[in-house]
Each structure stands twice: as structure tokens, then as C-alpha cells.
A and B are shown apart, each in its own frame.
Chain A
Amino acid sequence: MRRLLNIPPLIIAVGFGLLTLIGLLFVPEISSLLTGWAAFIAAAALLFGVLNLLIIHLQRFIKGRNFYSLVLIFSMLLTFAAAYSDSLIGSDFLNTIFRTILQPLEAALASLLAFFLLFAAIRLLQRQRNGWSALFIGAAILFLIAAAPMPAALGGLFTWVQAYLAPLFVHAGIRAILIGVALGSVTLALRLLMGVERPYSK
């Protein structure tokens, strides 16, 4: 019975996958139409997601007296009102919110990330003293030197590092990662089209 219930989603997924593939290769209109449906579904999912988030936090606030849920709901409604106001009366509430609240917070979080990374790297050998840690911290220092601008005092001391080490190892590594991602994407696409991978059934 359970297998029978899995058959319709499988047919739909495989069918639309093959149809999209065929559209990309031979009939772009079909592919565009299908991607348009997908975008609409994604937009609707976004809307339903926002509403679901609002309902959940309302329940948490009503039942669990969760103060942070109340803050989230208030921020959501305030941002929605600011955006609606900007589009309705031409105000700049949304930009102000971005500039005064969102951008500093994200910049601070990124700075803290740099600080945490630095502090963890400094204590690496103190907490986990092994060869891999030493290799890791050595590579980090080396590539920092390769990426950092050279002070004028150092001259061309690390020029060879910047000229050979970065392109050789970094580019090779990045390309390997990209190739791996591409192979993985192809494999995943084949699995989806063959019905082996069924994320919609989970």
C-alpha cells in the first residue's frame, strides 16, 4: 500500500524532470513554462512560509509566553508595514531600517566571526596538538600571507608565494571542488530522473 502511495509522486517528479530536460535541450518554451510554474510555486511557498512562521510564533507566545516570539512577530509586522508604507506613500522606512539596524548587525556578526576564527586559530595547538592541527594552522598562515598585501618593507619576500602558491593550490582545489559539485549534481539529477532518489517521499 505504501508503495502504491509513492508511485504518483514518483511519476510526477520523473515526468516533469524529463520534460524539463527535454525542454532545455529541444523546446526552451516548455522549460521556461515549467520554470515559471516552479517560481510561482516557490513564491507561494514563501508566502505560506511567512504565514506559517507568523502562526507558529503566535502560538508560542500565547501558549508559552515566549517573549522572543512576540518580538519576532512585532518586527515582521513592522517591516511589512514599513515596506507597504514605502510603496504606498513613498517613504524611506525600509531603507532606514536596513541602514540602521540590519547592516550594522550583520557587520558585527561578521567581525565577531573573524575574531572567533582568529582566537580559535591561536589556541589550536594549545588545545589540539597534533600534526593535522599544525598543518592546518601552517596552511592558514601561508595563505594569509599570500593573500595579504605585502608591506612595502617586506618588498618581494613573499612574491613567489603569491605568484605560485595561490594559483597552484588554491585554483586546483577550487576546481576540484567545482568538478565534484558538478559530478554530484549530475548524479543527483540522474537519480531523481530514475526515481532512485525520492526527496518528495520523505
Chain B
Amino acid sequence: MSTVNCRNCNAPNPAGSKFCNNCGTALPPATKLICPSCKTPNPRSLLYCDNCGTRLVQQESQPPKPKQRPASQETAGEEPPAPSHRAFTLPAREPGDIGDLDIHKLPDWLRADWAGEEPPVAGIESAASTPVSEEDILGSWLNELEEVEDETAESEVEQPAWLTEAEPDATSFSGDDALPEWLTSAEMDQPAAPTEDTTADSYPDWLAETAIDEPAMATGTADADELPDWLVEAGLEQPSEAAENDLPDWFNQTAEEPLSSSAGTTADDETADWLSALGDDEPAAAPAEEPAGDFSSWLMPEETEAAGDDDDIFSEDLPDWLKDSPLSPSDSQLKGGTDELSQWLVDAIETPDTAEPAPLAAAEISPDDDAPDWLRDVQSVGTAAEAAIFGEEATLASATEESEAPDWLNAQLGLDEETAASIFTLADEEDSGAFPDWFSAAEPEVPAQAAAPTPEPEQPSPSDDLPDWIKEMAPRNTGLLDTGELAGGEEEAAEDNFDWLTELSPDAEASGGTGPLPEIGLPDALPDWLADLAPPDTGSLGRPRTGPLPPATPKAADKSDLEEPDWLADLRPADSGDDDETPPAAPRRRLPDVPVTELPSLRTDPPPPSSEMEGVPIELAAAELPEWLTTELGPPPGPGGPSIPVIRDVPDWLEPNDDDDEIAAAVLGPPPEGLTGAEWQDILSGLPPGGGAAAGGAVATDEADIPAWLQALRPRALGEGGQGQVAADEPALTSGPLAGLRGAIEIEAAAAQPREAKRPAPATISKDQQRQMALLHQLMHDSQRQAIPVDDRPKAAAPTWLRLVLALLLLLAVAAGPFVADLLPTAPTTLPPAGENFYNALSTRMGQPVLVVFDYSPAMAGELNPQAAMVVRQLRENGNTIYAVSQFVTGMGIVQQLEVDPPLESGTFIAGEAIGLRQLASCLVGDAVCLTESEAPLPNNVALIVLVTGERDSLTGWVEQVGSSTNMPIVAAVTQSVAPIAQAYIATEQIDGLISGLPAAAAYESQYRPGETELAAQLAGQTLALWLVIILLIIGNVWGWLYSLRPRSTKGGA
């Protein structure tokens, strides 16, 4: 889960949080992908809407395929997988490519992004082994660029003040929150560099950054956009035409450009040159209020139209890399460099009048908000150093002009002749009044120790003459560099002194900052470092010059002395010797006071030669370049390219010297608060090799000396590695934070387009599936219609007439039985022995109580009622007391229907089946009183149990529950269906006598009941019905069997 660090407390917060969970500070809103369908904001990592599922990213949006791929990537195998869908693409490093990074050496502002998690160890291998997201690789400051696209105000706040005041338009940038432009400009302008790896080692970082590989250099085309500003800036510093003769043509051509072209004094003109170069890259039409456009144009300067493209001279003569250098002046400034001073120098002078809002704006925006310390140092020191240098240069120029400023300078300064004369004639004076007031006012700003021996110049308050922007910057510098001990009586003067000016003087720093500051403008007043830096033959600078400078002559002996500005001489190595060929050098810019704990190892080894200088125009041939500059340039690009000088080694004057330690000690002064002297010394001693250089680097190292570790952290441009050319062919983004950027995947625009969600195609169901579904539905819901054939034979439905015939036949057989007894006389049947025993059991218990059980239902009444009536009549004849009982509810009803005269004495219902029979048995044996529903209870002396039943359970219950427990004799009159069961009990003598069925009852009647024919007539009807049934069964089955044997074709419906 990605986190967003709070800007206030640096606490990590979950992505998407609106407020810091730790301090409550409002967090920058995260960029969301608005669903085109439901307008739901979704995180950028989603492809489909979390609410409605609509695809947020257009599927067909593929990143442009690189048309060119640098050889370095091919060899290294670093081909980033082309993402099929991404919200948008920022110039980023390759996944896992973090360079030789030691996370422990990272400054806090970079390490803050890794808070809460283990940062990747240096090395691509380790990082490449695990997939690292883009956000992980990119610093939080870069990730925030994506998220706070609409927070221009915040960007402005985070923008360093020095950058703001130098680049008014920079406030329109939206993404330059924490990245200094001088760094990003160099980074973004880097095209594919096949020898990038060697370049980084061969050149000083600042030079490698600036001199990298414009392809146009190889062809010798000098594009104004490609000329490093610092070199252009240096080239424009030619004060006179005499110097131009000795300078390279390309340099002279640049100097010939009218300065008035930049008289417009635009905001860019007022900014630092190297920043102006960046500003020139911005599209002119890009509105300042459109941060995205500015950002994109700033991000891809090569895609925008340079402001000075109409300048043919610069387009032709200046190499691109030279023109794009951050230290080079803008084209407009170059145009104005026909005279001694360039426009940017004039602008620096005019800054108090024209660029006043910029420092004010910078002052309003607190640089302490987000910018790291070293960046703040850069902004203050660098700007102050520039201003000081520029001021010195102007002053020196004016001094050498013998108090008569040239017209061009007056014109550039916007001063009338009187004012100019009043200013520049001060150079004739012996004191500091030889300099302009504003510059003279800066004189006391040197450290107090340096200024202490110097007589206090009688100058008005420096605040009166100094430009405001210098005055605003001065306190910061003093706060940083004013480490010298102030004399007690001079504290007030020291407050007014610009100590930061003193640090510009290495000699002053070498002297511990306590030496007297030489008066500027006079040979004695010149600072020692200026005198040291001055060419040997420019000793005039070291002397007090009271008279006007001689006119500029083409003589070499006077060129550097008179026409060449002192600042150029200052930048030139003191031991170069050959002043004639000394080209303008880039004004060195101080590296800010990087905290020593975060200061990386500075490169001290001379960079090896590299071919990164390919494309240096032929105008920069070694023949026309001074040696000291030649040493900074690399070898010729190759046989196909022009012969150009190549920087092989760092010049000696850039190498640390023995005085660096002293300089550092002088500059650094006492340990800051919170640190003891020992700790401070430890810190100083812990600096990387070249401590003198480090110390000096903190003071005098050029800003371009970006350490490798920092360069390794920079994100790579989208077009880096050859893709920049590809990106140039791609259409620029029209919206979003990357508007104007070419080569980026226009994702947000695609996602923002309202697009209907693709509905799935209607499901097609095959016919087989439809049949299966219908069958399933029929089986589940419509089972009646589902015919489950038993076999394939036709349905053998009996005809209705057959059913009616059978029914009529059965009814006739049963009903006609009594009437047809004579028609179908039955054979005489013999009474079985069980029947005779039945009669004997009744005959032997005459006059005794007999329990007659009527356990049959009315359904059996037709068969059993004649038997029961015959038995009851016999018992009555024998004089037995009859107690009727039944386990059937309808039993008592049957008893009521028996036409017995006299009627039975009592009757009762025995509930509980077996349990009731068990209780009855206990009652019969005398253990309990047998209660009946009648008034007379059952007697205990029952002699016989006569069981009339048609149910098997009743028979078994009476035999097993009552007969077995009471040993009472049981005789049974049962139906023919129960007769087989009763026969079993007859065999076991559990039943004494049995009359089984109508035939036996008829035989019993015929044998023992003479004169009764009821059972005989009933038997005749039953016999007829039975034989009819037998016949029908036989006929029917035979017919059915024969019917089934018929062929199927002849089968009908029956």
C-alpha cells in the first residue's frame, strides 16, 4: 500500500488520506481516475471502476514503441516492459534502476520517501530482482508531482525562493516542487547517450550534465537551444571588440548580437542566465496560469520553441549543448552581448529597478518550507554570488573605463549620461567611491574580520544603494557564511556588511575571513583573490587606476587587461598564462552549503576522457580555444565528427589546493550551534576525499558538480535513451499535468472521455442446450406431461365395456347365489375335525359363562355374521351366559345386529390391543376385577372363549395374550383368509376347535344344525362367484397373453 508522507511531520499516511494521521495537516489530494460512466473517483492503480466496473483505462492505449533504442540499453538489456496501461507516464528511471545509491548518504529530503520501509540497497541488481513500482522508485517529491497537479500554489511555496526570484515564470510551474531547475534542466535535456556510463566518470558532473550528447553536435550544427548557457554566458562577457578578434569566431559572433534585442527586459531577461535558458525553452504561447503546460514545456524543453529561435547567428554558431547549459545566458541576452557587458550582466545591474518583484515574491514564499537546506543555500549563495560577481564585474568594468561608462552600458542600464557619469566617474576616486554606490555599499558586507583593518568607508547606508534583491539575499548569506568573529566595536558595521560577498573571494576565505577587504575599484582595494585570479599580464588591475582606461585596442597585451572583464579574468586560471586565448569561462557558481553529514563523496579524480563531447561544433576546435578550456573538453567525437577539444582532466585551477583547508576553515568558521568544536572537526574530517575541495566545494564548488549519487537518483526523462526522438514525433498531450509533453501515454484523456460500458454480447444458446433446458424444466415443473414409457408396447387399456361386463358378472354371481343354489348344487362337504372339536367345546360347557369375541369389521360381516349368529344360537340353546367383547369399535354394533333372542347380556370394548387383552386375561383368571362398560362386570369364571374374527392380529392376540396366560379353552370361527393361521394354532392345540370359512360353517350347519339352510344358500352364491372368478382369471390371462403375442402393427388401442 502506497503511502504519502506528511509535509509537516513527515509521517507516512495511507494513500488517499486527506489529512495527516499524525498532525492533521491537510495532505495533497491524490489524483483520481474519474469513471466515465458513474463519475466515481478511482485510484490510479485501478483499471476498472470500483463502482460500476467500467474500464477506466482505454485498452487500446498502448505506449508508443520506441523507434530508436540506444545501444547502451540494448547492450545492457535494459528494455523496460512496455506497460499496456498506465495512468500517465512521467520521466522516470527504469524499474529498479536506482544507481549507485547508498541510502544512508541520502539527504533527508530524499530519504523521506523511504520512511517506514527498508530502502533498496544500492545496485540495480538487487532492485531489479524484485519488482519495484514506479512510485517506489520515484521519490516522493516526484510522486507528488503527479498528485498535486492542481496545486500550483503549493508548488510555488515549495519552489525555492532563489529560483522564484530568478525565474518569475517559474511560479507557473506545477511540478517543480522540490527539484531545482538547474538540475532538472540538465536532466531532462539529456538525450540518449550511448556512452553515458563512461561520460559520468569522465567529466565533472556538471560538465557531463551539460555537455552530454546533443546529436546535433556531431553534425556540427549549432543550435541556439543547444548551446550551454554558461558557455554562451562566458562568451558574451567579451568587453570589447579587441577581445573579439582573439576570441573564437563563434564567440565573437555571439558578442556581435545587439544587446537591444533583449531590451525588452522580460522576466526571463531578469533571471539568471541558466534559468533563462530554461525559461526560453518554455513555449511562448503557454499561458502562465496553466501549470500543466508550463510543466510539460519545462519538462521537455527540446519540444518547445525557443524564444530565440529567430536568431540565426546563435542557431548557427552555438552548439546546442553549449546553449542549453544552465550557466549560459539566454538568447536574448546573447543578442545583447555586443558590448563589453552582456545583457544578463546588465540585467543583474538593473535588477534593483526591474526585477524587484521577483525577490519580493521570493521573500513572500518561505524557502524554508520544503526546500532542503542545501537548496536554500544554493538559492542564496548562488544568487548572491552571481550578483556579487556581476556587480564586481560591472564595477571593474567601469573602473577600467576610467569613470566613463560606455554607451552601451548606459543604454543597458537605462541611465542617462549624467547619471552614468556620476556613477562611473567614481572609479577615479581613491576610495571605494570609485565603484557605484550600490556596489560600494556592498563593500562593508564582507566579514567583519576582513573588513576590520580596512578603514570604514564613508558611504551612505548600503541599504540605500544596494538593490533590494541583494539586500534581501544578504541576510541569508550572512546567516550561512558569516561565521567569522566580529569585532566587538564593529558588530554594527558587520550587520550592514555583506559577508556573503567576502566568501566570493577565495583569498578572503583563505585568510580566515578576518583580513581586511581590499577596496574594490582600486589596485589596493581589490581583493587578493581577484588579484590572484587576474592574469599575470593584467597587473593593471592590481594597481590603482586613476585615469580612464585606454581605449580598447586589438593588441593582445592590452586585451585582457583592458577589454577583458575582470570577472572573466577571475574565472580564468591564474597560471594559464596565455591571456589571448582565454575564452570566457563560465562563471563559477558556488555549491551551496551542503550539510556535511549528507555531503556525498565529491569526485576528485580527474575524469577520464569521454566521447560525450560529440557534436561540439567545429568552431570549438582546439585551435581557437584556450588550453585551459581545451583541457575541459573531450576528444574529438570520431572520424566523422569535427575535431573538437575534449575535456580530459579537471583543470588545475579546479583542483583542490593546499589552501582549501584554510579556506574551508575560514569559511566554515566556528562550529554551528549544537555542535562542539570536536564534533565539527570530526564532521569536517569525515568529508570525502579532497577535503579541501569539499570544504571548498561547500563554498566554491560549481553547482554543476552534482555528485554521482545525486545524479543516480534523478529520474530519467521519458525520451532518454533514444526515446526522446521518438517522443518528438509523438503528439503532445493536451491536458493534464503533462500537457505539452510528447511521448507520454495519454491515459487520462482517454479515461476522461465518456464512454459507454461495453455490454456483453448476448448469450447464444444452442439448440441442444435449449432442448436440455426444456427437458429439465419439464421434469421439474411439468411432470404430468412427461410420459415415462414402461416399454415400447402400446398402452393396453381395457375397454370400458369389459370393465362393465366384469363388474356385472361379479354382482350377478354374488346376488344370484342364493337363488341359483339349486342350479349349481355343491358337493356335500365333510366337517373337519377342528369343526367337530368346536362343537364339542360348546357342548361340554353348557350353562357356563362364555366370552364371545366379535373382532371383525362390518366389511367382514357378510361372511362372519352367519357363523357368529349360528354359534350364539347354539350357546343360547346350551344355556350359556354370553359376554360379548370386541377390540373393534364397530364390534358392539355388529353384536347389536345379531338377531339373537334373547339378546346378549353385556358387551364391552377392549382397548389397548395386546395390553388390553393382557389386562383382560388377568381379569379372567381372577387377579383383578374385570370392569366393563356395562353394569355387570365380567365374571372370573369364564369357561370358554369363542373367537369370531377375520383378522390375523386379533387371532394371534387372543391366542397368545389371553389363551396362553389363562389356559382358557379358545374356539375360533374365522374367515377362510385367516383359516391357514388358525390351522397352525389348531396343530399346537392352542385353539380347541375351528370353523374356517363359509364351507366349514355350512358343513357345521348341515351336521349340527339341522333345519337351517342359511349358510348353505350363501355357500352356493359364493361358490358361483368363486368359480366365475376362476374362469375370468383364466380367460382373461390367456387372452391377455395371446394379445401380447400379436404383431405390433395389428395392435389396437385395447
A→B interface (CB under 8 Å): 28-29, 31-32, 35-36, 38-39, 42-43, 46, 94-95, 98-99, 102-107, 109-111, 114-115, 118-119, 121-127, 129, 134, 137, 140-141, 144-145, 147-156, 166-167, 170-171, 173-175, 177-178
Complex Cα gap A199–B263 (Å): 114
Interface pair B806/A118, CB less than 8 Å apart: yes
> Is B597's beta carbon under 8 Å from chain A?
no
7 shortest interchain CB distances as A-B pairs: A126-B1040, A122-B1036, A98-B893, A103-B858, A148-B1026, A106-B859, A110-B859
Residue in contact with A122 in the complex, picked from B806, B860, B861, CB distance below 8 Å: B806
> Which residues of chain A come closer than 8 Å to B803, judged between CB atoms?
119
Q: Given A126-B1043, A141-B1034, decide whether A42 and B997 contact each other with a Cβ distance below 8 A.
A: no
Q: Given A95-B896, A144-B1029, A171-B984, decide whether A125 and B826 contact each other with a Cβ distance below 8 A.
A: no
Interface string of B988-1010 (1 = CB under 8 A from A): 00000000010100100000000
> Given known contacts A43-B912, A98-B893, A149-B1020, what 7 new A-B pairs fall within 8 Å (CB)?
A95-B896, A98-B897, A103-B893, A126-B1037, A151-B1023, A171-B984, A173-B980
> Is B757's beta carbon under 8 Å from chain A?
no
Interface pair A141/B896, CB less than 8 Å apart: no
Interface pair A114/B810, CB less than 8 Å apart: yes
B502 to chain A, nearest CB (A): 94
Interface pair A98/B896, CB less than 8 Å apart: yes
> Is B807's beta carbon under 8 Å from chain A?
yes
Complex Cα gap A195–B1027 (Å): 52
Interface pair A174/B981, CB less than 8 Å apart: yes
Interface pair B1044/A125, CB less than 8 Å apart: yes
> Which residues of chain B come closer than 8 Å to A103, judged between CB atoms?
858, 861, 890, 893, 897
Complex Cα gap A31–B928 (Å): 12
Complex Cα gap A107–B922 (Å): 35
Interface pair A171/B980, CB less than 8 Å apart: yes
Interface pair B1040/A151, CB less than 8 Å apart: no
Q: List 8 A-B contacts (CB under 8 A).
A: A95-B896, A98-B890, A102-B858, A122-B1032, A125-B1044, A174-B984, A175-B984, A175-B987
B858 to chain A, nearest CB (A): 4
- Segment with Cβ contacts to A, from B172-180, B264-272, B600-608, B913-921: B913-921
> Which residues of chain A come closer than 8 Å to B918, judged between CB atoms?
31-32, 35
- Which chain B residues numbered 852 to 877 have a C-beta less than 8 Å away from chain A? 857-862
Please name the residue on chain A nearest to B961 by beta carbon: A35
Residue in contact with A124 in the complex, picked from B861, B1035, B1037, CB distance below 8 Å: B1037
Interface pair A42/B1041, CB less than 8 Å apart: no
Interface pair B1029/A126, CB less than 8 Å apart: no
- Which chain B residues numbered 998 to 1054 have a C-beta less than 8 Å away from chain A? 999, 1002, 1019-1020, 1022-1023, 1026-1027, 1029-1030, 1032-1041, 1043-1044
A113 to chain B, nearest CB (A): 8
> Is B678's beta carbon under 8 Å from chain A?
no
B→A interface (CB under 8 Å): 796, 798, 803, 806-807, 810, 814, 824-827, 829, 857-862, 890, 893, 896-897, 911-912, 915-916, 918-919, 922, 927-928, 956, 976, 980-981, 983-984, 987, 997, 999, 1002, 1019-1020, 1022-1023, 1026-1027, 1029-1030, 1032-1041, 1043-1044
Complex Cα gap A156–B826 (Å): 11
Interface pair A123/B1036, CB less than 8 Å apart: yes
Interface pair B825/A141, CB less than 8 Å apart: no
Residue in contact with B980 in the complex, picked from A38, A94, A149, A170, CB distance below 8 Å: A170
Q: Given A152-B826, A174-B981, decide whether A122 and B1040 contact each other with a Cβ distance below 8 A.
A: yes
Interface pair A32/B1044, CB less than 8 Å apart: no
Complex Cα gap A147–B826 (Å): 13
Interface pair B826/A150, CB less than 8 Å apart: yes
> Which residues of chain B come closer than 8 Å to A174, judged between CB atoms?
980-981, 983-984
> Which residues of chain B come closer than 8 Å to A95, judged between CB atoms?
893, 896-897
B964 to chain A, nearest CB (A): 11
Complex Cα gap A46–B910 (Å): 13
Interface pair A149/B890, CB less than 8 Å apart: no
B215 to chain A, nearest CB (A): 87
Complex Cα gap A42–B909 (Å): 14
Interface pair A145/B976, CB less than 8 Å apart: no
Interface pair B915/A140, CB less than 8 Å apart: no
> Which residues of chain B come closer than 8 Å to A156, judged between CB atoms?
827
A141 to chain B, nearest CB (A): 5
Complex Cα gap A93–B1040 (Å): 50
Complex Cα gap A115–B1029 (Å): 9
